[in-house]
């Protein structure tokens, strides 16, 4: 009996102990889950670990323990718990592994276990994806592709500051220079356009041209030859001399990181000066209303430096249930600020479709022309994941009503965040959903000819097994910055600076393509050997090429940069074309027709001039009349002379010998003097009114010494026969080719 009673009491003790233990575990689990739901990851971690030490095994506990490390970018420790999760054979229909496969793969890659990650990914995609997904995650392929991009950077060094989300602040002196360059570009474009059209107009016998040119010609007021335009040179100023950045970061996930998340302080904006060698100096807190009692980060400035878009955490207060309110402590929203004097003020939250209630949006980025805003949002994702979106920005600073997802080429099942668009139009972003080295890696993307994004990993040393993100670059200096938690204090992100030695490469040519065929405007024949000089926006010669046997040329030039093309071939007039910059991968045809410097168009026919040709006959000029017995030009004759002037303007190799003749009536000495005066009057008109250089004109008066018929003295001739002898000849003198 005593044995039985003893056994009963022993069993009661253990059962009671077990029940008490289970009750305690349930309380600890509830407290841990509450802290986890509040994103108090450090406190939640301690409670979950306590459960594990007490022998409590549960998929959810393993998963959440891994998450407390994962969302603080501690992938090695996160992997320990995700491994337990994946290897746990306990079937629990209430817990789905679906969202944890991706995290598991990220941690494997971050721990340099690429083959194991690839095996797991391949098995998953064989069941749930397609062959393209399987091939994409072949470690041999993607690690080789990453290796090809690696080594393009030098001087990747710690910039000396803890922080992330760098915005380059435009140098106001460079902005003023840009405005001056833009004015010069407009002037140069107009000059080139007028010059080109005027040359074509003259070659086409005034059939085409600028309206002003045609009106002047119709009025009998010919255009003067333009003075030679001096090529203006600009000394490049540094585009950026300062940065703005946040002093901590939010791991790229679109929820607020308060103290309990990782026990880091709130994010504030600071600025730092950029030295000539790219080093950062003199960190100071940003003046104005930007820094609030909550997080703010990832600023971006318009090209004039007067408007900022940035990310700020906004506490959620509109949820009905307390539990829902705990689910997301605050959302991230994109705000706008104006620069007034030296301070940032007029803070306002951007409207729909950028910010949507109940979701987070952050990490804004502008295109070089400020016409599009890229950003990250979890509006169609789980709370911790995000996709990239883009919305059009109007000239007045307002936004269109639709924000478009960048699609499956960019967005994955993981995190796509921290976008940046360089001056060439290349999109950079951080992701843990594309093949990479682990954690967040930086990627570059451009659209191909089929309008699909092609994505490449930037490789080492920008990317590592840690989180690497917030990449920006100044294409003029090839210097830039990014952030990484690859070393130093855990949970801290450091700014790194770099110099890019070689541009990122894609599986196709990304620079805009310019092409065309150069022909003879008269014959339509293609012209081989035409020299083409290309000048940039600063009027610096950047390229020289020559047309092939088919008159063709093709060249790739930097995107979004204006250029002028100069076409030159011996015997032909120089032609210039101004071309506005285009986006990456665009194609622009520039057909050009040059006209021979000795070819003129008469009655829809082209005539090649030779030495000693008489323009009066070729142009079928009406007689050049003067006042009777004098040498003042009549108005009707001026219009005929203007036709000759036009030929000289458009054909610089041609000079003229102007010979004036009289008939035989009157005294011979009088006729000789009269003809010389008339020849001189003709030349004076062409110099003073036509703007032709005196070096190109020679005058002779022959009186009655070179009659073209038999109407000499004492010969009875009709008035018409005498009129044939009263004439002006415009004999061509052809200058040799230069």
CATH number of the domain enclosing 106 = 1.25.40.10
pLDDT of 233: 56
Rounded CA separation 478/497 (Å): 11
- Tell me, yes or no, whether 569 and 679 share the same domain: no
pLDDT of 643: 92
Select the highest-mean-pLDDT range: 134-148, 295-309, 639-653: 295-309
pLDDT of 293: 79
Residues 6+ apart with CB under 8 A from 513: 554, 555, 556, 586, 587, 588
Rg (CA), the chain: 40
Residue 655 falls inside a structural domain = yes
Single residue among 450, 472, 500 that ends a domain in this structure: 500
Residue 545 has pLDDT above 90, yes or no: yes
- Tell me how far the alpha carbon of residue 658 is from its chain's centroid: 56
- Tell me, yes or no, whether 166 and 184 share the same domain: no
Cα–Cα distances (Å) from 543 to 104, 234, 535, 563, 582, in that order, read 51, 18, 7, 10, 17
Q: What is the pLDDT of residues 382-406, one digit of tens each?
A: 767 899 999 999 999 999 999 999 9
Residue 56 falls inside a structural domain = yes
Residue 506 falls inside a structural domain = no
pLDDT of 206: 44
Residue 247 falls inside a structural domain = yes
Select the highest-mean-pLDDT range: 158-162, 380-384, 496-500: 496-500
Rounded CA separation 575/557 (Å): 20
- Tell me, yes or no, whether 700 and 654 share the same domain: yes
Residue 50 has pLDDT above 70, yes or no: yes
The dihedral formed by the CA atoms of 482, 486, 492 and 495, expressed in degrees to the nearest 10: -20
pLDDT of 353: 96
* Helices 59-70 & 98-110 angle (0-180, nearest 10): 50
- Tell me, yes or no, whether 721 and 681 share the same domain: yes
Secondary structure string (H, E, C) spanning 546-615: ECCCCCEEEEECCCCCCEEEEEECCCECCEEEEECCCCCCCEEECCEEECECCEEEECCEEEECCCCCEH
Residue 194 falls inside a structural domain = yes
The two tokens of residue 480 are 């830039």
Q: Is the Cβ–Cβ distance between 402 and 389 less than 8 Å?
A: no
Q: Is the Cβ–Cβ distance between 423 and 581 less than 8 Å?
A: no
Query: Mean pLDDT, to the nearest integer, of 564-588?
Result: 87
Does residue 247 sit in helix, strand or coil? coil
Q: What is the pLDDT of residues 172-205, one digit of tens each?
A: 887 777 777 777 766 766 666 666 655 555 544 4
- Tell me, yes or no, whether 161 and 205 share the same domain: no
Q: Is the Cβ–Cβ distance between 315 and 298 less than 8 Å?
A: no
Single residue among 439, 468, 500 that ends a domain in this structure: 500
Q: Which domain holds residue 439?
A: 154-171+242-500
Query: Mean pLDDT, to the nearest integer, of 676-688?
Result: 92
The pLDDT mean for the chain works out to: 82
- Tell me, yes or no, whether 217 and 166 share the same domain: no
Q: What is the pLDDT of residues 51-96, one digit of tens each?
A: 889 888 888 899 899 988 988 888 899 999 999 888 887 776 567 7
Residue 735 has pLDDT above 80, yes or no: yes
Cα four-point dihedral sign 133, 139, 145, 150 = positive
Q: Is the Cβ–Cβ distance between 480 and 161 less than 8 Å?
A: no
Who wins on pLDDT, 584 or 684? 684
Residue 367 has pLDDT above 80, yes or no: yes
Residue 411, phi then psi, degrees to nearest 5:
-80, 135
Single residue among 80, 111, 137 that ends a domain in this structure: 137
Q: Which residues of 549-563 are buried (b: 16+ CB within 10 A; e: fewer)?
A: eebebebebbbbbbb
- Tell me, yes or no, whether 88 and 198 share the same domain: no
Residue 3 has pLDDT above 60, yes or no: no
Q: What is the pLDDT of residues 684-701, one digit of tens each?
A: 999 999 999 999 999 999
Percent of the chain with pLDDT over 70: 83
Residues 6+ apart with CB under 8 A from 14: none
Q: What is the pLDDT of residues 410-460, one digit of tens each?
A: 999 889 999 999 988 899 999 999 999 988 999 999 998 888 999 999 999
- Tell me, yes or no, whether 183 and 97 share the same domain: no
Q: What is the pLDDT of residues 112-123, one digit of tens each?
A: 888 888 888 877
Inter-residue long-range contacts of 685-690, CB under 8 Å, 24+ positions, other chains counted: 685/633, 685/638, 685/641, 686/641, 686/644, 686/645, 686/648, 689/222, 689/638, 689/645, 690/222, 690/224, 690/641, 690/642, 690/645, 690/648, 690/649
Residue 13 falls inside a structural domain = no
- Tell me, yes or no, whether 581 and 715 share the same domain: no
Percent of the chain with pLDDT over 90: 38
CATH number of the domain enclosing 215 = 2.60.40.1120
461 upstream amide cis, omega within 30 of 0: yes
Does residue 233 sit in helix, strand or coil? coil
CATH number of the domain enclosing 439 = 2.115.10.20
240 upstream amide cis, omega within 30 of 0: no
Domains held by the chain: number: 4
Helix (H) or strand (E) holding 640: helix 635-650
Residue 235 has pLDDT above 70, yes or no: no
Query: Mean pLDDT, to the nearest integer, of 46-55?
Result: 88
The two tokens of residue 197 are 């059209």
- Tell me, yes or no, whether 293 and 401 share the same domain: yes
Residue 304 falls inside a structural domain = yes
Helices of type H across 269-339: 322-327
pLDDT of 510: 85
pLDDT tier for residue 130 given thresholds of 50, 70 and 90: low
Query: Mean pLDDT, to the nearest integer, of 204-220?
Result: 42
- Tell me, yes or no, whether 300 and 442 share the same domain: yes
pLDDT of 98: 79
Residue 115 falls inside a structural domain = yes
Rounded CA separation 82/87 (Å): 8
Q: Is the Cβ–Cβ distance between 252 and 440 less than 8 Å?
A: yes
Q: Which of 74, 146, 152, 63 is nearest to 503 (CA)?
A: 152
pLDDT of 161: 85
Q: What is the pLDDT of residues 20-37, one digit of tens each?
A: 556 788 888 888 888 888
- Tell me, yes or no, whether 292 and 428 share the same domain: yes
């Amino acid at each position: 009996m005593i044995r039985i009673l003893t056994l009963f009491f022993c069993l009661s003790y253990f059962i009671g102990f077990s029940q008490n233990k289970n009750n305690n575990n349930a309380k600890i689990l509830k407290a841990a889950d509450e802290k986890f739901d509040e994103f108090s990851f450090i406190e939640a971690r301690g409670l979950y670990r306590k459960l594990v030490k007490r022998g409590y095994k549960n998929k959810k506990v393993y998963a959440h323990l891994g998450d407390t490390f994962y969302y603080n970018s501690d992938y090695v420790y996160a992997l320990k718990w995700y491994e337990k999760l994946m290897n746990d054979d306990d079937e629990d229909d209430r817990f789905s592994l679906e969202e944890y496969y991706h995290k598991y793969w990220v941690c494997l890659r971050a721990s340099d276990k690429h083959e194991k990650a690839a095996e797991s990914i391949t098995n998953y995609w064989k069941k749930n994806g397609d062959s393209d997904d399987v091939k994409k995650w072949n470690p041999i392929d993607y690690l080789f592709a990453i290796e090809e991009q690696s080594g393009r950077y030098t001087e990747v060094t710690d910039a000396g500051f803890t922080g992330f989300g760098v915005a380059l602040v435009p140098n106001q002196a460079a902005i003023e220079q840009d405005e001056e360059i833009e004015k010069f570009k407009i002037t140069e474009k107009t000059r080139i356009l007028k010059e080109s059209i005027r040359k074509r107009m003259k070659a086409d016998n005034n059939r085409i041209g600028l309206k002003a040119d045609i009106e002047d010609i119709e009025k009998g007021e010919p255009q003067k030859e333009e003075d030679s335009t001096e090529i203006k040179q600009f000394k490049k100023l540094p585009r950026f001399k300062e940065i703005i950045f946040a002093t901590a970061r939010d791991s790229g996930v679109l929820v607020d990181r308060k103290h309990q998340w990782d026990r880091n302080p709130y994010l504030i904006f600071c600025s730092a000066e950029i030295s000539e060698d790219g080093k950062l100096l003199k960190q100071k807190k940003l003046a104005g209303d930007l820094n609030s009692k909550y997080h703010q980060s990832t600023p971006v400035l318009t090209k004039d430096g007067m408007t900022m878009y940035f990310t700020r955490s906004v506490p959620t207060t509109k949820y009905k249930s307390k539990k829902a309110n705990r689910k997301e402590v605050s959302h991230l929203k994109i705000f706008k600020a104006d620069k007034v004097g030296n301070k940032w003020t007029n803070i306002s939250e951007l409207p729909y479709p950028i910010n949507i209630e109940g979701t987070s949006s952050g990490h804004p980025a502008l295109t070089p022309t400020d016409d599009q805003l890229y950003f990250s949002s979890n509006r169609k994702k789980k709370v911790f994941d995000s996709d990239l979106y883009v919305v059009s920005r109007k000239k007045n600073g307002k936004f269109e009503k639709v924000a478009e997802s960048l699609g499956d080429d960019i967005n994955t099942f993981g995190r796509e965040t921290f976008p940046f668009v360089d001056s060439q139009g290349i999109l950079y972003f951080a992701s843990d959903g594309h093949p990479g080295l682990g954690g967040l890696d930086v990627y570059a993307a451009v659209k191909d000819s089929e309008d699909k994004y092609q994505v490449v990993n930037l490789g080492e040393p920008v990317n590592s097994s840690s989180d690497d993100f917030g990449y920006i670059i100044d294409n003029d200096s090839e210097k830039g910055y990014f952030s990484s938690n690859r070393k130093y204090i855990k949970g801290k992100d450091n700014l790194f600076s770099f110099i890019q030695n070689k541009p990122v490469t894609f599986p196709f040519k990304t620079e805009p393509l310019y092409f065309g065929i150069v022909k003879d405007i008269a014959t339509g024949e293609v012209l081989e050997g035409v020299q083409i000089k290309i000048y940039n926006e600063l009027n610096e010669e950047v390229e020289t090429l020559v047309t092939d046997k088919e008159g063709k040329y093709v060249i790739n030039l930097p995107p979004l940069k204006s250029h002028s093309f100069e076409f030159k071939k011996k015997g032909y007039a120089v032609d210039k074309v101004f071309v506005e910059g285009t986006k990456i991968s665009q194609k622009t045809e520039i057909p050009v027709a040059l006209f021979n410097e000795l070819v003129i168009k008469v009655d829809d026919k082209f005539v090649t001039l030779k030495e000693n040709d008489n323009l009066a006959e070729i142009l079928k000029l009406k007689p050049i009349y003067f006042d009777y017995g004098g040498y003042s030009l009549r108005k009707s004759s001026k219009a005929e002379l203007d036709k000759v002037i036009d030929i000289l303007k458009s054909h610089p190799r041609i000079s003229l010998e102007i010979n004036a003749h009289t008939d035989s009536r009157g005294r011979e000495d009088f006729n000789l003097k009269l003809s010389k005066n008339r020849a001189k009057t003709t030349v004076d008109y062409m110099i003073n009114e036509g703007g032709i250089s005196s070096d190109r004109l020679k005058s002779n008066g022959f009186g009655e010494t070179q009659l073209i018929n038999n109407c000499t003295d004492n010969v009875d001739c009709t008035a018409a026969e005498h009129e044939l002898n009263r004439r002006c000849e415009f004999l061509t003198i052809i200058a040799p080719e230069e």
